[in-house]
Chains A and B, each alone.
Chain A
Amino acid sequence: AQTVTQSQPEMSVQEAETVTLSCTYDTSESDYYLFWYKQPPSRQMILVIRQEAYKQQNATENRFSVNFQKAAKSFSLKISDSQLGDAAMYFCAYRRFRSGGYQKVTFGTGTKLQVIP
């Protein structure tokens, strides 16, 4: 069974600094997707970034980037130039790739990020 582990329940970062959130996963599959979701105090879950396992290039979305290490089964999220609005709970998630049908999304337990002014 797939598992997703976020070993940092809470982290903090100074505004304008860089922070990295860790995520490891366990799977026997070779094709899959990895996601980082952000959940601000409003509770709305928002997709931050997505990585396809077949792509060697790390995904980037503005100030958010990932370090995808497939062999190590590691998928960390780097937030550059942290802003107050980045304060939220961040969830790492995994989904096996199949062309059709339902594929379960497995979520980690989350990392709460505090941004210090």
Chain B
Amino acid sequence: DAGITQSPRYKITETGRQVTLMCHQTWSHSYMFWYRQDLGHGLRLIYYSAAADITDKGEVPDGYVVSRSKTENFPLTLESATRSQTSVYFCASRLHRGGYEQYFGPGTRLTVT
């Protein structure tokens, strides 16, 4: 299906485990983003990528790792999950040019026990 997808939609993991959240978009958008959504904070940017092999930190990057070997994929890895990383994670993408909207994926609800 065309669009932006995330997997898994729900994940429960234990403290200290490594977790990877997947994001895939079919539009060939240059920019991709990872946000986390927590009550009282709105959406906060974790990492973004301007193109394949180009990534940069956002507001809250600590404890996360990203990679982008292909334009369409932008996985987010929690190297050693902590309870504070319990959140809803959104992937988004945007065209390179123009001040236009970001298109969001459906989100992944991650619980770290």
Binding site for B on A (CB under 8 A): 4, 33, 35, 42-47, 50, 52, 91, 95, 97, 99-105, 107-110
Q: Can you list 7 contacts pairing A with B, beta carbon distance less than 8 Å? A: A33-B99, A44-B104, A99-B97, A101-B50, A102-B50, A105-B45, A109-B40
Q: Please indicate which of the listed interface residues A47, A91, A105 has the most CB atoms of chain B within 10 Å of its own CB.
A: A105
Complexed CA–CA distance, A42 and B107 (Å): 9
Whether A44 lies near B42 (C-beta < 8 A) is no
Q: In the complex, which residues of chain A have a beta carbon less than 8 angstroms from the beta carbon of B104?
A: 44-46
Whole-angstrom CA separation of A99 from B50 in the bound complex: 14
Q: Which residues of B contact A (CB under 8 A)?
A: 31, 40-45, 48, 50, 56, 58, 88, 90, 92, 96-97, 99-102, 104, 106-107, 109
A44 to B96 alpha-carbon distance, docked (Å): 22
Q: Is B99 within 8 A of A100, CB to CB?
A: no
- Chain B min CB distance to A38 (Å): 11
Contacts of B101 in A (CB 8 A): 35, 47, 50
